[in-house]
Amino acid sequence: IQEPRYVGDITAQHLSTPEKAQRVLKIAKDTIARQRRKIKSLQQCRNRLIIRITTLKSLVKHLEQKNLLTELAAEHLKVNKPNLKT
Determine contact, residues 28/46, Cβ cutoff 8 Å.
no
Q: Is the entire prediction scored with pTM above 0.75?
A: no
Quote the pLDDT of residue 18. 92
pLDDT of residue 72: 85
Domain ranges for the chain: 14-77
Q: Residue 55 pLDDT more than 70?
A: yes
Q: Which of 44, 83, 78, 84 is nearest to 58 (CA)?
A: 78
Q: Which amino acid is at 85?
A: K
